Amino acid sequence: MFANRKIENIEQEVMEAVSKARKQQPFLNAMVSFMEVDEAISEAKNSNGKMAGLPIVLKDNVLTKGVRTTGSVQILDNYIGAYDATITRKLKEAGAVIIGKSALDGLGMGGTGTNCHTGFVHNPYDLNRMAGGSSVGSAVLVASGAVAFAIGSDTGDSVRKPASFVGIVGVKPTYGRISRYGIIPYASSLDHVGYFTRSVEDAALALEVLAGRDDKDMTSSYREVENYLANLNGDLKGKKIGILSNVIDSIKSEKTLNLFNELIEKCVNAGATVQKITMDPIRLQTCLPVYYIIANSEATANHSNLDGVRFGMQEWGDSLEELMTHSRTKGFSFLLRKRFVIGSYSLADENQDLLFRKAQKVRRILVEDYKAALADIDVLIAPASGDVAPLLTDTSADQLSARYLIAENHMVLGNFSGYPSMTIPMGKIDGLPIGVNITAKPFEEQGMFDVALGMENLTGCKNMTAEVNV
């Protein structure tokens, strides 16, 4: 835990983090690149910031000036950032020491950590299992104990699902709470900057560092940044907690349900009021197709500049069209190319009304339903996944979501709506962690953190790390 802790020997702490990440790399494959830290250590020694001396990792879609940022795609493999992302600057100003960039599913697309251009990323609790995605490397490095904080991004559940699979805290704040300037995008209306910690207290402090208005991101909010850590209160007495019953009804794992029900019972005993909330089940089943249409359409538009001419690696051809085709074919994985085809098809003139615009309308209906579900409660909760992390051999990048439409896709409602949402560990099943997801109304991160702290106190699942035998 780094909240309320002064790091006495910054150089030692940073070098231990670097050493641990390097030793774990052959087993976890969580890092894309390591950064030079000498200058950052010197600056951290003179810092009074809230993260002074804290070694951290950035997802490799976050720009760092003069440092390679790949987005985990071959076409950007040698891209060097011309400027720092706003969050990179803020973290440096807070005294954090960035030790490297972490692996992700290419351009944030994929939820398994198996679509990274550097290879599969492994779960530190069981190297034969996946750790979710797309912010997989950051999640794994926090869970393995290499670092206590890492940046991710969340477009569907890319922070919150990995957090569940590796037993840590994953936060996606309200849309606009954190600037996205300098983040390689996936889908602009769904993208959120998120992050990982091993405790709710650390999560509260981190948002104080990251949040705030940024004129370089016109979607960022003017709202004042609150003192989340100082105001943190884990007393659940009087809290109104809603259970999204559609998710519960769709989960087949008795062990997951038993663990969740134990948590609910503890919350009731702590003074919380708990009620079931039911959303229209047919509408909920549209979450995945609506997400794919909107996200892939926006991704197609966002990455049309990666053509081998203006950006990225270049594969020669006999014509400009052939050059671009060869560059994009070699530069993107099959999964990304497939998603670009979906996006292009959805945006075609003859298909826009039937697909893209209709998906936007359904998204609005789902958001209104979600707003109504949260109207009379403080938070809405459900298991973050139907079960523990699957084996790497049991899943493909899109298979899990398609098989369990509600249990594995409900967290995308947080991206459709922009509402703050986080996952914390609720326990282990046969030695493997699984999390509970907590969602609140817009800009009510404080209330979300309060409930999360109360639950963390009840479960005792705090500062969990996996032992990786290196």
Catalytically active residues, by annotation: 59, 134, 158
- In 60-217, beta strands by DSSP E: 97-102, 150-154, 169-172, 192-197
Please state, in angstroms and rounded to a whole number, the distance separating the CA atoms of residues 299 and 346: 12
DSSP string, 34-66: E---HHHHHHHHT--STTTT-EEEEETTB--BT
- Other beta carbons within 10 Å of 307: 18
Q: State the greatest distance between any 2 C-alpha atoms of the chain, in Å, as a whole number.
A: 72
Please state, in angstroms and rounded to a whole number, the distance separating the CA atoms of residues 37 and 97: 7
HEC assignment per residue over 342-379: HHHHHHCCCCCCCCHHHHHHHHHHHHHHHHHHHCCCCE
Please state, in angstroms and rounded to a whole number, the distance separating the CA atoms of residues 128 and 125: 9
Is the Cβ–Cβ distance between 171 and 203 less than 8 Å? yes
Pairing between β-strand 240-244 and β-strand 379-383 as defined by DSSP bridges: parallel
Please state, in angstroms and rounded to a whole number, the distance separating the CA atoms of residues 330 and 325: 9
Residue 28's alpha-carbon distances to 20, 248, 326, 347, in angstroms, are 11, 32, 32, 38
If you ran DSSP here, which 8-state letter would residue 311 be given?
A: S
Q: What are the tokens at 9?
A: 């020997």
Long-range contact pairs involving 396-399 (C-beta distance under 8 Å, separation at least 24): 396/112, 396/114, 397/105, 397/110, 397/111, 397/112, 397/114, 397/115, 397/335, 398/110, 398/335
Amino acid at 171: V
Q: Which of 97, 94, 91, 197 is nearest to 141 (CA)?
A: 197
Is the Cβ–Cβ distance between 363 and 416 less than 8 Å? yes
